Amino acid sequence: MKAIFVALVAASILVTTGCGNSSNRQGNAAGDSAPPAREESVLEVSFGFTRQGGIASNQFAVWIEDAQGRYVRTLYATRWTAAGGWRRRETSIPQWVSQSSLAGRDQAHVDALAGPTPPTGALSYLWDGRDYAGQAVPPGEYRVFVEGSLRWENRVLYTAVVRLDEAGQVNAEYEFFGESTQERGMIGLVTVTVLP
């Protein structure tokens, strides 16, 4: 009985401190130290991730732009690329690196948006409707991107256009770059849900 009680207390601590791993849900965003609470979120980006073996792979970023193509916020980027790997391998999520102006960002900004490459599984990233400076964005049209470096110069770019004032779910369109087809299953179908 004592062992069961200790296990329950330990599980409770893990959940309340955020150390539990609930279906690989991610929410780290530029300027945030913790994922936004569900009731604060306006949008969710979900997809299946299959970790690849070998080098020059498993890098991805999830970010938001406004209707004019201006960078709004990064919801998540793999730490290797965000922390400087993009300088050593220019083919690592290059569109995100360019759009986010990563070269001009300070270390605190990079640390807030980056995380380790997750294990294989279902991933979900939340957005609280704020830009990289923490300011609330106006309602309207936004573009959601998921870019993944599949292997060396081979990559995929998912894009979805949503309106924050219209709840619903859309499947992102995708485009592959490079000739290899071996790692194309790294990032599965991306769905973007504007939450009511």
| pLDDT, position 68 | 96
Whether 90 contacts 144, CB under 8 Å:
no
| pLDDT, position 16 | 28
| pLDDT, position 30 | 37
Could you tell me the two tokens for 130?
């704020």
Average pLDDT, the chain: 82
Whether 123 contacts 148, CB under 8 Å:
no
Whether 36 contacts 124, CB under 8 Å:
no
DSSP 3-state percent helix, strand, coil across the chain (nearest 5) = 20, 35, 40
Half-sphere exposure at residue 81, Cβ-oriented, CA atoms within 13 angstroms: 29
Measured distance CA(190)–CA(160) in Å, rounded = 9
Q: What is the pTM of this model?
A: 0.79
Structure confidence at residue 113 as a pLDDT band (50, 70, 90) = confident
| pLDDT, position 64 | 97
Measured distance CA(18)–CA(194) in Å, rounded = 24
Kindly state the average pLDDT of the residues 144-158.
95
| pLDDT, position 38 | 39
Q: What percentage of residues in the chain have a pLDDT greater than 70?
A: 80
Confidence check: pLDDT of 12 > 90 = no
Kindly state the average pLDDT of the residues 89-99.
92
Q: pLDDT by residue (tens digit) across 63-72?
A: 999 999 999 9
Q: 86-100, 102-116, 122-136 — which is least confidently predicted?
A: 102-116
Kindly state the average pLDDT of the residues 176-184.
89
Whether 31 contacts 133, CB under 8 Å:
yes
